[in-house]
Amino acid sequence: MTDNKTSWTAEQQVKHLIALKAIKFGSEIPADLLSDPDAAYEYLVENDEHWDAVSETRCGEVETDIPAGWSRHYESKSVAALCPDGSWVGWTYWYGGGKHADPEAIDWIDQAYALDCTEEQKTVTVRTFTKTGEAPLQ
């Protein structure tokens, strides 16, 4: 899966991430499919080897501050993942919904979008307080 990834759509980038995760979990995708994320993903689906990789990828690597879609039945947040080529891809992560909900059934792969990410280092001071002795109650 090392062909020109910059020409891949965000959806293909997500399928690529899923295929890589599936390989990490032990799936053996034929070498001739590795340069085509659509074909690699379809292979996983046809062989029923995609579930764990999709579930692991769906949560994302980091939460973003990009506004997410909403539903009265589910909670949502925007998440992102770093692709092997250094680009970022994001999507809406749906969760919650109660006892009989199935947020995993909501299509999200085809709703993925490309992201630009800017990183900056920040110094943060955190203060933690503890009592040094018992104060009298008033």
Instruction: List, for residues 54-91, the tens digit of each pLDDT value.
Output: 999 999 999 999 999 888 899 999 999 999 999 999 99
Q: Is residue 14 part of a domain?
A: yes
Residue 73 in domain: yes
* 137 occurs within a structural domain: no
Can you give the pLDDT at residue 96?
Answer: 92
Tally the domains of the chain: 1
- Cα separation, 43 vs 23, whole angstroms: 12
Tell which wins on pLDDT, 138 or 46.
46
126 in any annotated domain: no
Question: Whats the size of the chain, residue-wise?
Answer: 138
Q: What is the pLDDT of residue 6?
A: 65
In a domain? residue 20:
yes
Q: Please check whether residue 104 lies inside any domain of the structure.
A: yes
Contacts (Cβ under 8 Å, ≥6 apart) of 45: none
**Does residue 95 belong to any structural domain of this protein?**
yes
Summarize pLDDT for 1-12 with one digit per residue, the tens.
444 556 899 999
**Residue 117 or 4, more confident:** 117
For position 92, what pLDDT does the model report? 95
Domain residues for the domain of 88 are 5-115
Widest CA span in the chain: 77
pLDDT number for residue 130: 83
Neighbours of 75 (CB within 10 A): 13
| pTM exceeds 0.85, yes or no | no
Q: Is residue 131 part of a domain?
A: no
For residue 135, the model assigns a pLDDT of: 65
Per residue in 13-28, pLDDT (tens digit) is 999 999 999 999 999 9
- Rounded to whole angstroms, the Cα distance separating 68 from 25 reads 30
Distance CA 69, CA 76 (A): 7
Amino acid at 129: F
Q: Tokens standing for 76?
A: 């949502």
pLDDT, tens only, 26-60:
999 999 998 999 999 999 999 999 999 999 999 99
